[in-house]
Amino acid sequence: MYWIALQASPDELRPAWAWRSLQFTPRVAQVDEALLLEASASERLFGGRRALLRQLLKGNPDLAVPAWADGPTSLQALAMLRLKRARRAKPELLPDDLPLDTLTAVRPHLSTLERIGCTTFGQLRSLPRAGVSRRFGAPVLQAVDAMQGQRPERYPWITLPEDFDQKLELQSLATSAQELLFTGAHLLTLLQAWLQARNLGVLALELEWTLDLRRLDGKPLPPTEKMELRTGQPTQDMHHLRRLAAEQLARSSLAAPANHLRLRTLETVPWGGVSTSLLPEDNRPGEKLHQLVERLSVRLGEGNVTMLEARADHRPECMQQSVPAGCAASLRTGPPSAARSEAGHPADPLLPPWLLREPLRLQVKADKPLYRGPLQLLTRARRIEAAWWDPSLEQPVLRDYFVARSEAVGLLWVFRERLSAEQERAQWFLHGIYA
């Protein structure tokens, strides 16, 4: 058997370490002040004891490395952890040289045992079992057998909750939203451990704080206030969530001092891991685009940060629309393919990079359009017939588009409206400019 004993500090991080430990073994128990892990079945999976310990202790930069010890039994690992925490020397012979004060079941009887000269586990083990049982009770003998591995060690194993919903009491009353961030950081660390153990990514979560006052200046106050955080893509990155929370809290104010903080998930999805590329130019360091957009949306307001989103429409002026960045499909699903747009249309290399807000009507001379001089048509007509379904238009859009050259301006994108029965001459319009 192989047992690991952990003691996290501060105590608020103990659940985070318990949930993180469940990624390495399903047998995790809270015993006295420590977490005990039975990891013998996981050694080979993680490449041996040394590799398992390295991944367990140093795999999460948001969690401070706890005090730890290991041993062939849980009680030996716990005793070694207590010696390490007390900065006492490691015994030469294990388990016989372990001090009795490292064994929980023996602590109530230490004074009696010291009077008879019994101070180590080996001396206790050499005493007559019948006398020890009559004088100190059966739990002491059971602990002696468990320390040597002669008795099965059974504990109530920790299990993950189905949903994340944790509440902590603030160390002092928070009078500003920024003061909530310290306790919020502890809760986000718990959330990360829960997400990793559940293999989930979070899309939406809620911070809720309890107000310490019921009335202020004679006006009744709500019992709680809350704030919602949303991300465009599933994440386990608590650094990004802390920045989002800090930005949103900076724009908030508390109606009264708060005494408790609660964090719960609103929407989670299965976690597929972080997408990477084999090309080094695609793996650039720094903040991701969707994270920057989400942070700016919180800081400036959702309606003040917009993105262009493709639409299933063949009219150039209707192929895309400006939407709040938080609602953009490209932010949720990633950038569109280089070969096809999100709307499903093939990408057209002839579309100009700049469209006029309103098409500009051109003069026509001898059936040829003019714009600072005569235009030379360089391409064949590209015909568009669309918007027959739009009830706001009197007739559908019937256009023939061309790439034209102007001696004064350069390349232009122009179109000719199809002749109707009422028209004698075709009308030409300037719609785009090539840089």
Q: What is the pLDDT of residues 128-162, one digit of tens each?
A: 999 999 999 999 999 999 999 898 888 999 999 99
What would the pLDDT profile of 335-375 be if each residue is shown by its tens digit? 443 333 433 344 567 788 888 888 999 998 888 899 999 99
Where is average pLDDT lowest: 4-8, 113-117, 190-194, 303-307? 303-307
Alpha-carbon distances of 424 from 103, 302, 374, 398, rounded to whole Å: 104, 49, 21, 16
Task: Indicate whether 152 belongs to any domain.
Answer: no
Predicted pLDDT at 83: 94
Please tell me whether residues 93 and 221 are part of one structural domain: no
Alpha-carbon distances of 180 from 121, 172, 185, rounded to whole Å: 48, 10, 9
Tell me the pTM: 0.66
Q: What is the CATH number for 184?
A: 3.30.1490.100
Predicted pLDDT at 366: 83
Task: Indicate whether 231 belongs to any domain.
Answer: yes
Alpha-carbon distances of 40 from 43, 112, 255, 296, rounded to whole Å: 6, 37, 53, 48
Please tell me whether residues 184 and 258 are part of one structural domain: yes
Predicted pLDDT at 264: 95
Task: Indicate whether 17 belongs to any domain.
Answer: yes
Q: Where are the beta strands (DSSP E) in 236-332?
A: 258-270, 306-310, 320-324
24 close to 37: Cβ distance less than 8 angstroms: yes
Domain span including residue 341: 304-347
Task: Indicate whether 332 belongs to any domain.
Answer: yes
Task: Indicate whether 282 belongs to any domain.
Answer: no
Query: Which one of 112, 147, 182 terminates a domain?
Result: 147
The two tokens of residue 42 are 């996981």
Please tell me whether residues 141 and 227 are part of one structural domain: no
**Measured between alpha carbons, how far is 208 from 224 in angstroms, rounded to an integer?**
7
Residue 405: is its pLDDT beyond 90?
Answer: yes
What would the pLDDT profile of 231-270 be if each residue is shown by its tens digit? 888 888 888 888 888 888 888 888 889 999 999 999 999 9
Please tell me whether residues 181 and 252 are part of one structural domain: yes
Which position has the higher pLDDT, 67 or 299?
Answer: 67
Please tell me whether residues 343 and 358 are part of one structural domain: no
Strand partners, 258: 174, 211
Q: Which of the residue ranges 55-64, 81-90, 171-180, 391-400 has the most confident prediction, judged by mean pLDDT?
A: 81-90
Task: Indicate whether 284 belongs to any domain.
Answer: no
Name the band, by pLDDT with cuts 50, 70 and 90, for residue 274. low
**Measured between alpha carbons, how far is 342 from 313 in angstroms, rounded to an integer?**
11
Residue 422: is its pLDDT beyond 70?
Answer: no
